[in-house]
Chains A and B, each alone.
Chain A
């Protein structure tokens, strides 16, 4: 699986267009917040900015690895390299994990880039950065990569994968927005993947304590969901449809 991951990393790092696109998407949020921070003043400014940061951070986890994800499986099928790859008798699970690991590197990189850029724009009031990163953001990157590799495996071309993965980015955005505008429902969903990470971010940015147990629980749930998706993707890749398309 490491052989597959290293090949995908090497391949993706040479795709300048894709890299620039990913960096642009990850920096779009901090740039937008920087502009808004200069326009919004008064008591509501902090709430508005913290809400925007949490949403853009969730989106960065998904957009960081999006371009790589669409190339690693749908791209394999499009360039007709999937059949030669499968003929090496490497287990489907190893192939999927290898590709997922490569996407995780970019998802995590996107998140970290977004975090760093936000530090230039806004100083969070909370002091639980490591807890947020380890129990919230890292599992979120694992899940985002798993969802993206799974979707890419279902698609027969990069164009098709691009369509669905671009739509996927709206899911964390919608969850984040829902959490901001309906805080009561956000409290209920705080143990669910994505919504839980958003609740964590909101508390951290607002200077409220980030509770350890719920954070660990949402981290474990998110990681478990990612593992389940990887397994499902490997099972799907073992089907005839994966070779022949739908």
Chain B
């Protein structure tokens, strides 16, 4: 479980996050929804330990070492192979049985055929899977994913969704940030809507629709973040 309480973050004079609180329970996928600049990525980066919070607390079951993160695009090293990219992060995590762990995650994500190819020559989907393998190599109990389906084709999106469901069913706590409402609706058990650095609503998709008296999640989301329809000229 990941529990966030009253998280604050400022960059100079601008407020990035202003009192974000929510919980991501084990065995569930929690979706972070919000417009560009709403504070989703900053929240995930603080949870991942990349940025220090201005104020607030983060509790992670099992400690920070049990966290896996796929943040800020794939961020792979093009001149290294898929296996070497995964091994590097395994070593940074201080894994003991590294070969076994890397072999496991390569098999789990279906990367065997490209394991020894340099990442620079891989497709977007293969790169995303490699980045995910890198985030999973230390078998984290908790997972952070920032827009993982960006740029992926339909079969890859489907296989990624299947993988995330398997991880959820095996008890992982997953926080997923996405702009793709289809992803959010099909994957997430609960949603946290962030606008202007604060949580404006949280609950299941149905609960958000009921609360806003909207027929679709898209309408409910737009109403919650206070965006009005912009006419297309």
A83 touches B84 (CB 8 A): no
Q: With CB as the reference atom, state the residue of chain B lying closest to A86.
A: B50
Within B45-96, which residues are at the interface with A (CB < 8 Å)? 45, 48-52, 64-65, 69-80, 84, 88-89, 91-93
Within A68-82, which residues are at the interface with B (CB < 8 Å)? 79-82
B72 touches A83 (CB 8 A): yes
A3 touches B77 (CB 8 A): no
B77 to chain A, nearest CB (A): 6
A89 touches B64 (CB 8 A): yes
Asked if A15 is at the interface (CB within 8 A of a chain B CB), the reply is yes
Within B1-58, which residues are at the interface with A (CB < 8 Å)? 11, 45, 48-52
In the bound complex, what is the Cα–Cα distance between A241 and B77 (angstroms)?
A: 22
B51 touches A88 (CB 8 A): no
A residues near B77, Cβ cutoff 8 Å: 7, 11, 79, 81
In the bound complex, what is the Cα–Cα distance between A161 and B78 (angstroms)?
A: 19
Provided the pairs A3-B92, A87-B69, A89-B49 are in contact, do residues A10 and B75 lie with their beta carbons within 8 angstroms? no
B51 touches A89 (CB 8 A): no
Q: With CB as the reference atom, state the residue of chain B lying closest to A3.
A: B91
A89 touches B69 (CB 8 A): no
A residues near B75, Cβ cutoff 8 Å: 79-85
A residues near B65, Cβ cutoff 8 Å: 89
B91 touches A87 (CB 8 A): no
A residues near B49, Cβ cutoff 8 Å: 86-87, 89
A243 touches B71 (CB 8 A): no
Asked if B134 is at the interface (CB within 8 A of a chain A CB), the reply is yes
A83 touches B45 (CB 8 A): yes
A83 touches B76 (CB 8 A): no
Q: With CB as the reference atom, state the residue of chain B lying closest to A83.
A: B72
Within A1-52, which residues are at the interface with B (CB < 8 Å)? 3-4, 7, 10-11, 14-15
B residues near A244, Cβ cutoff 8 Å: 11
A88 touches B89 (CB 8 A): yes
Asked if A90 is at the interface (CB within 8 A of a chain B CB), the reply is yes
A residues near B88, Cβ cutoff 8 Å: 3, 7
B36 to chain A, nearest CB (A): 15
A15 touches B45 (CB 8 A): no
Within B124-149, which residues are at the interface with A (CB < 8 Å)? 131, 134-135
Instruction: Please indicate which of the listed interface residues B64, B73, B76, B88 has the most CB atoms of chain A within 10 Å of its own CB.
Output: B88
B93 touches A88 (CB 8 A): yes
A11 touches B131 (CB 8 A): no
Q: With CB as the reference atom, state the residue of chain A lying closest to B76.
A: A81
List 11 extra interface pairs beyond A15-B79, A79-B77, A90-B92, CB under 8 A: A81-B75, A82-B75, A83-B75, A84-B69, A84-B71, A86-B49, A87-B71, A89-B49, A240-B11, A240-B51, A243-B51
Report which B residues bind A (CB closer than 8 A).
11, 45, 48-52, 64-65, 69-80, 84, 88-89, 91-93, 131, 134-135
Report which A residues bind B (CB closer than 8 A).
3-4, 7, 10-11, 14-15, 79-90, 240, 243-244
Q: Can you list 28 contacts pairing A with B, beta carbon distance less than 8 Å?
A: A3-B92, A7-B88, A10-B80, A10-B84, A11-B77, A11-B80, A79-B75, A79-B76, A79-B78, A80-B73, A80-B74, A80-B75, A82-B72, A82-B75, A83-B71, A83-B75, A84-B69, A84-B75, A84-B89, A84-B131, A84-B134, A86-B50, A87-B48, A87-B71, A88-B93, A89-B64, A240-B11, A243-B50
